[in-house]
Structure 1
Amino acid sequence: MAEGCPSSQKEVQVLSPATTPGTTPPPSPTGPLGAVKVGDVVTRGLTVPVCAAEFKLSDVAHLLLSTDQSAAAVVDGEGSAVGLLTETDIIRAYFQGAPWDCRVGEWLRGRGAFSEGRAASDGLAGITVLPDQPLQEAVLRLVPPAPWGIHLLVQGMGGRYYGVLGPLSVARAAAARGVASLLGPSAAQATVAEVMQSRDVVPVCSPGCNMQQVLQALLASREHAVLVADLRGVHGLVTARDVLWAFNQQIPRSAMAWQRFANHPGCHKLKRRVISSAAPLQIAAEAMSAGCGLQHLVVLEPGGMEVVGLLSPLELMRCASNSRPALKKPERAESSGTGAVQKQPVRVADIVAQRETATCSATCLLHDACSILLASGRTAAVVLDPAGTVLGVLTENDVLQALVEGVPEDLTVGLWLRGGE
């Protein structure tokens, strides 16, 4: 975050190969993404956050901050995972006005109507992955939006907790192994501009917004990042980590958010998190993985101060899932002999690729499917079986019809498509 946009180029250290200390050329690819296992990229040890059902949500917020993670496993006394709690849960609990002393178990049992976290009663099978499963298969389950968000529990034999897989895991793997090993050979020469979120689609709040307004904007953004800007320019960036701190400090939702964040001693000034749009993707992955809560990077035009986009670990995960078009620079349209620009025909695939296609599994509950549609901004979701085969399409009309007919709450999407038999 920042108190204001720096006024001169010299004040900003734009991350690039020449200015990033300790960076090295991207290492040689270690093989296709399919050869990388989930266990290869999930952090284990003391930095892996775990909590118990008796923990307060505010305690988990502090835990995530101190470990620089975005999700924690809820474990029982034997060390087996029984639930998953993420930064999205903290943001939503804050937004819904959950009590400061709300317990993890209470939240997972249904205090949040659309909580991302899952408890054992919901069945953990849908949100768990084995350490020896190919990474790409696991990533495909997280992009596009799933009811449980963008994290999976990694469990070993006997249900023992192994770790949590999320976008930051992919970013750190890309930094350590080289982006080419995860995204393909073309990624070794790819730049930030080819994968970033354009500024025109990044949520924006004014410096005068209160905490509740910022929380609402963050929940509308899967990247959990909001630019703070007005007519004078971009003042900074608010991320989920800022909200974790605010929730832990019990700052009222009516308080002016930017004033509190900008004056927080632990906040990140804008000049610490900027990167040039021309910077190699490898440099961006290394910057995201450096720790200290700098997972989100504000993208500047090359050699200038204009903010042109935002880059987060989620963009790298989307690339790893091949949900984005192949990494390549846009080609210029060729001119005819008369000087007129030849327009390229618009394909259905070109239109679909502009936004993620929402998907859900056949075993997904209907109310979870509603969460998918809301999170993706789509009016329909493709229904897939565990092997990825398309079974049908669930639309908002289906949801409305189910509400009118009063179908059971535990009805799955698959049963609904088969007529509720």
Structure 2
Amino acid sequence: MQKDVFGGLTVRDILPSEPLGCKLLLHYALGDAASALAGSGCTAAAVLDQDGQLVGLLTENDVMRAYFEGASPDHRLADWFVSGLARAPTHVLRQKLTVRPTDALVVVAEHMVTNALTGDCACHHVLVEGDDGKILAILSAFDMAQAICRSDRWDNPLLQGAQNKRAKGDGDEQPQTSKTLRTASTAVQDIMKPRESVFTCPPLSTMKDVLKVLLLTRQNSALVVDEEGIYGIVTPRDAVRAFADGVPGSMCIADWLRRLESGVTNRLIASTASIEEAAALMTARKLQHLVVVPPGGIQALGIVSALDLVVGSQSCKQVLCETPIWEGPTLGELLVQQPHLTAICSKTTTLGEAAQSLLTTGRTSAAVALSPFRLLTENDIMRAYADGWPRESSAEHWLLSQESPRAMLPQHLLVPPSVPLTEAASLMLGVAVSAWGDPCHHLVVKGVQGVAGGWQGVFSALDIARGLCTLGSELEVAKTGADLATVSMFMKPLWDVPTCRTTDSIQHALASLVNGRQNAVLVMDENGAYQGLITPRCALHAMAEAVPRDRSVAEHVARDWLRGSGGSGGEGFKREVFPESRLLDAASIMAARSLHHLVVVDRQESGTEPSQPVGVLSALDVARGVASMRCRCPFASLGWLWWCRGPSSCSLWSA
């Protein structure tokens, strides 16, 4: 039989006397809504339209997200709920967040845990709906925690006869339930978030920096830690107060903490305390997060929240799934947004026709109707041109003539549509350093049904850049790690980029790319001045236009091939960026202009001398940037500080 730590209580037993508690109207401003939440002490408010109909819940996490996104306090709730960022709009309420008054609290706890495991909605709250469809109340994880320490729950015969477990914290007695506890209860240390899952911020972090930690890690608390230890904690409640008070996101978090009346010492709970005692302490002090310390100790072991108590109330121990910090949209979502992500040609299509098709569609590969499935890429066209293949040769003939396994599509390049953008970037980089040698610029997205040979589209390295540009909010950008990345972090420096002379032939320049396994070569004149960039895209032009292979590069510097990459290109189509430019801005240029390579130039202060190249940034470099962000955590956990700095870094700052 499932253990019921709620003593058989039902939702009706803990319904508040005032229905819905805090209520807001759809035309209210976010700043006023935040003030109402902060003043009421509620963690969520019902939002009603002009007819009094419920349209959603506004939670503390909604306010925190709006704060992070830079929303104005004057931003209307109506606009927030149509933005797609609200965590509990009407359809989510009905599908996932509704319970009945007759439901047992243990069932509601299971409901909350299920929502917490999926992580896609307001898992800290449920809506209580009567049999007549009338909304009776909003129930929060904090309400559930309060129910755990209610005296009347001990009348349940399942809880009779167990031994009382008591614990002390830092010398003070923990608040007790109103009757002697009679359960061999779960200890706080068994359900807390351990040090490794508790993230920290240095005191010089801004308010927005801390909100980023909370939102990306999907945690509702972060500790502020310096060399002397812990002296602060930030939760969504703090974000609500700060937003309501008009605190700028640029404010130093240490300055904000100095304004607060109480610190971390008000939140201590012994690791051996029961979840009932933790619930009692939360109830007595109206706190949703406690810092767990050893009995009589001052070193933080972890954090326990009201939701952790709900999770710990389940008979079978549930562990909230750790979500990768970096993820971004899935390939399937991006393919839906951009259905043009595939070019197709028949096996009889000539290399010249295929080159023209890729130029017309702006793609870097075409699916060839062969069995097994094959891709003809712009690098294939470049190799064919450099090797002297006639433009009238068929795509089938070219592909079948290649003995190298690169002509075949390896199985690990077939990916499901559920693969996140960051993982796609990692896959491309994984192949690029594999035994295959050649960089991988393409992933084939499988069909939804998984039918043999079925596929949705081809995803290229340039589509990584396009994917970054589709992100509609600051948090989505932050999830990919692109918000702090600069071009200088991922560009190829000048000494790693091959060069050619304007007097070299087109074939020689392209052959240097093939032999060097590179996709860009800088064109320099006889004086060493930068003139342009040769890429596989130039090979498409050469093959499509039947350009003689012995023609010099100089004859094409002035043509549209180089897309303003040199001084002779059009002013409206430059492809230069600076080393300090944001990687996201570089990706935007690539996506808007279908450019696979940008020339990185130094910034000339005088403005009279031409900028000189210092490197090249490719679409694959953008993918490398996204992939590397996925492989590291940008936030220091309490466990990491313990390991690097020693136990003192996890001690209370004022102790």
* TM-score over 0.5 (shorter chain): yes
Secondary structure of the structure 2 residue equivalent to 1:224: coil
Matches within 5 A, 1:53-72: 53-72=26-45
Supply the distance in 2 between the matched residues of 1:118 and 1:59 (Cα, whole angstroms). Answer: 19
Residue 75 of structure 2: aligned partner: 102
1:88 aligns with 2:88: no
Instruction: Indicate how the Cα distance of structure 1 residues 123 and 36 shifts in structure 2: closer, same or farther if over 3 A, else same.
Output: closer
Matches within 5 A, 1:246-325: 246-264=242-260, 267-292=261-286, 294-322=287-315, 324=317
Q: How does the TM-score come out when normalised to structure 1?
A: 0.66
Q: 1:376 aligns with which of 319, 323, 331?
A: 323
Residue identity in the other structure for 1:400: L
- After superposition, what is the alpha-carbon deviation per residue over 1:132-175, rounded to whole angstroms, capped at 9, x for unaligned? 22333333332213422212222224432211122112101102
Residue 148 of structure 2: aligned partner: 174
1:115 aligns with 2:115: no
Q: Would you say the 8 A contact 2:100–2:130 is kept in 1?
A: yes
Q: 2:138 aligns with which of 164, 184, 187?
A: 164
Q: Would you say the 8 A contact 2:60–2:240 is kept in 1?
A: yes
Matches within 5 A, 1:133-148: 133-143=103-113, 144-148=117-121
Secondary structure of the structure 1 residue equivalent to 2:26: coil
- After superposition, what is the alpha-carbon deviation per residue over 1:15-66, rounded to whole angstroms, capped at 9, x for unaligned? xxxxxxxxxxxxxxx9675943223234341782111111222222222222
Residue identity in the other structure for 1:107: W
Secondary structure of the structure 2 residue equivalent to 1:131: coil
Shift of 1:274: 1.1
Instruction: Indicate how the Cα distance of structure 1 residues 216 and 177 shifts in structure 2: closer, same or farther if over 3 A, else same.
Output: farther
Q: Would you say the 8 A contact 1:202–1:310 is kept in 2?
A: yes
Supply the distance in 1 between the matched residues of 2:216 and 2:241 (Cα, whole angstroms). Answer: 20
Number of matched pairs: 317
Q: Would you say the 8 A contact 1:172–1:289 is kept in 2?
A: yes
Greater RCO, 1 or 2 (C-alpha within 8 Å, sep 6+):
1
Secondary structure of the structure 1 residue equivalent to 2:55: strand
Supply the distance in 1 between the matched residues of 2:448 and 2:104 (Cα, whole angstroms). Answer: 30
Greater alpha carbon shift after TM alignment, 248-257 vs 398-407 = 398-407
Q: Would you say the 8 A contact 1:191–1:277 is kept in 2?
A: yes
Greater alpha carbon shift after TM alignment, 398-407 vs 224-233 = 398-407
Residue 231 of structure 2: aligned partner: 235
Supply the distance in 2 between the matched residues of 1:246 and 1:217 (Cα, whole angstroms). Answer: 16
Residue 129 of structure 2: aligned partner: 155
Supply the distance in 2 between the matched residues of 1:195 and 1:243 (Cα, whole angstroms). Answer: 25
Q: Would you say the 8 A contact 1:83–1:124 is kept in 2?
A: no
Supply the distance in 1 between the matched residues of 2:275 and 2:41 (Cα, whole angstroms). Answer: 22
Q: Would you say the 8 A contact 1:128–1:155 is kept in 2?
A: yes
Q: 1:131 aligns with which of 90, 101, 108?
A: 101
Shift of 1:406: 4.3
Greater alpha carbon shift after TM alignment, 239-248 vs 152-161 = 152-161
Greater alpha carbon shift after TM alignment, 80-89 vs 130-139 = 130-139
- After superposition, what is the alpha-carbon deviation per residue over 1:163-198, rounded to whole angstroms, capped at 9, x for unaligned? 11221121011021588899x858644322222111
Matches within 5 A, 1:181-220: 188-220=184-216
Secondary structure of the structure 2 residue equivalent to 1:376: coil
Secondary structure of the structure 2 residue equivalent to 1:141: helix
Supply the distance in 2 between the matched residues of 1:281 and 1:320 (Cα, whole angstroms). Answer: 8
Instruction: Indicate how the Cα distance of structure 1 residues 284 and 319 shifts in structure 2: closer, same or farther if over 3 A, else same.
Output: same
Shift of 1:253: 0.9
Instruction: Indicate how the Cα distance of structure 1 residues 275 and 123 shifts in structure 2: closer, same or farther if over 3 A, else same.
Output: closer
1:356 aligns with 2:320: yes
Q: How does the TM-score come out when normalised to structure 2?
A: 0.44
Secondary structure of the structure 2 residue equivalent to 1:318: helix
Residue identity in the other structure for 2:79: E
Residue identity in the other structure for 1:356: L
Q: Would you say the 8 A contact 2:221–2:236 is kept in 1?
A: yes
- RMSD over aligned CA atoms reads 3.5
Supply the distance in 2 between the matched residues of 1:188 and 1:81 (Cα, whole angstroms). Answer: 42
Higher Cα Rg, which structure = 2
Supply the distance in 1 between the matched residues of 2:70 and 2:46 (Cα, whole angstroms). Answer: 23
Residue identity in the other structure for 1:253: G
Instruction: Indicate how the Cα distance of structure 1 residues 181 and 53 shifts in structure 2: closer, same or farther if over 3 A, else same.
Output: farther
Instruction: Indicate how the Cα distance of structure 1 residues 261 and 145 shifts in structure 2: closer, same or farther if over 3 A, else same.
Output: farther
1:400 aligns with 2:331: yes
Residue 433 of structure 2: aligned partner: none
Supply the distance in 2 between the matched residues of 1:209 and 1:230 (Cα, whole angstroms). Answer: 11
Supply the distance in 2 between the matched residues of 1:398 and 1:115 (Cα, whole angstroms). Answer: 18
Q: Would you say the 8 A contact 1:223–1:314 is kept in 2?
A: no
1:38 aligns with 2:8: no
Supply the distance in 1 between the matched residues of 2:267 and 2:33 (Cα, whole angstroms). Answer: 25
Residue identity in the other structure for 1:224: N
Residue identity in the other structure for 1:276: A
Q: Would you say the 8 A contact 1:80–1:159 is kept in 2?
A: no
Residue 524 of structure 2: aligned partner: none
Instruction: Indicate how the Cα distance of structure 1 residues 195 and 188 shifts in structure 2: closer, same or farther if over 3 A, else same.
Output: same
Residue 363 of structure 1: aligned partner: none
Q: Would you say the 8 A contact 1:356–1:376 is kept in 2?
A: no
Supply the distance in 2 between the matched residues of 1:260 and 1:397 (Cα, whole angstroms). Answer: 31
Shift of 1:80: 4.0
Shift of 1:229: 0.5
Supply the distance in 1 between the matched residues of 2:448 and 2:152 (Cα, whole angstroms). Answer: 43
Secondary structure of the structure 2 residue equivalent to 1:289: helix
Q: Would you say the 8 A contact 1:218–1:224 is kept in 2?
A: yes
Supply the distance in 2 between the matched residues of 1:297 and 1:290 (Cα, whole angstroms). Answer: 12
Residue identity in the other structure for 2:189: A
